[in-house]
Amino acid sequence: MRSGGTPAGHVANGERCYVAAGRRAGTALSAAGSVVPARAAAARRPPGREMETLRSCVCTRSGGGLGVGTCGEDSFLYFAYGSNLLRERILLKNPSATFYAVANLQDFKLVFGNHQGKPSSYWHGSIATIVQSPGDEVWGVVWKMNTSDLNSLDKQEGVEDGIYIPIEVNLPTQEGKVLTCRSYQMNDCVCDLPSPQYKKVICMGAKQNGLPTAYQKKLEAIETNNYAGPVSVFEEIEAAIKEKETTTQ
């Protein structure tokens, strides 16, 4: 975060979340730092690599470190920064997800909003997205997933309804390599406050995966809409956590 800048996740009611420099949501960060639509990124690839956007680039491990390797047709990498940070949450609909790495996306920030200003009936508040913001960063988790879960992941993100758009992001690692991952960005985002339940899931996921302490504190400081009613997906997550605790005892 920039010194004196906007904290990750800080929003104001009714503020429209624009991508920096007037670029619309649903763009992909190229290796050079420029932004291109995910479909355009796929179109620029050499023949024979057209499917990379859908399955992303599966990075093999070399010498115990992370490295960019051969893209496998049966799996892809997914960068999660919202509720899917939490293992029990992503496994509800995507059973193949396995932890791959903790990573951060540079020059973006985390915000909360609603597609076209319509609150999520699923979470009873706004939900997370990312927007370009030079000097900021978004921490998250890279999950390795089977392509058999790609449709369910897109459905969870509301791709068919135009709520989120798949994007391709390049994430540098401490080893100096780059992970090419699938992620999502909200379309027509109008900023608002998330529900306490949604915020809690994100904070739990950040703690579970050991995101930097300073970043966790920023997440914990996010203001909510104080919704106190039932949230079915939150109850499902709590049940999954309790079941896991029971089976490990």
Here the tokens at position 170 are 């390049």
CATH number, residue 155: 3.10.490.10
In a domain, 1, yes or no: no
What does the chain come to in residues?
249
Q: Is the pLDDT of residue 182 over 70?
A: yes
In a domain, 14, yes or no: no
In a domain, 6, yes or no: no
- What's the total number of domains in the chain? 1
In a domain, 225, yes or no: yes
pLDDT digits (tens, 9 = 90+) for 33-83: 323 334 444 444 333 322 222 222 222 222 233 233 334 579 999 999 999
Range of the domain at 127: 20-248
Catalytic positions are 157
Q: Is the pLDDT of residue 222 over 70?
A: yes
Write the burial class of residue 54 (CB in 10 Å: 0-12 exposed, 13-18 middle, 19+ buried). Answer: middle
Comparing CA positions, the residue from 148, 124, 146, 128 lying closest to residue 138 is 128
Mean pLDDT of 99-118: 95
| 3-class DSSP assignment, residue 129 | strand
In a domain, 11, yes or no: no
For the ranges 6-15, 76-85, 115-124, 127-136, the lowest mean pLDDT is seen at: 6-15
Using 50, 70 and 90 to split pLDDT, how confident is the model at 143? very high
What is the per-residue pLDDT for 55? Answer: 26
Mean pLDDT of 113-124: 93
In a domain, 8, yes or no: no
What is the per-residue pLDDT for 248? Answer: 75
What percentage of residues in the chain have a pLDDT greater than 70? 70
| Nearest-angstrom CA–CA distance, 171 and 48 | 23
What is the per-residue pLDDT for 21? Answer: 27
| Nearest-angstrom CA–CA distance, 16 and 11 | 9
In a domain, 118, yes or no: yes
What is the per-residue pLDDT for 173? Answer: 75
| 3-class DSSP assignment, residue 9 | coil
In a domain, 10, yes or no: no
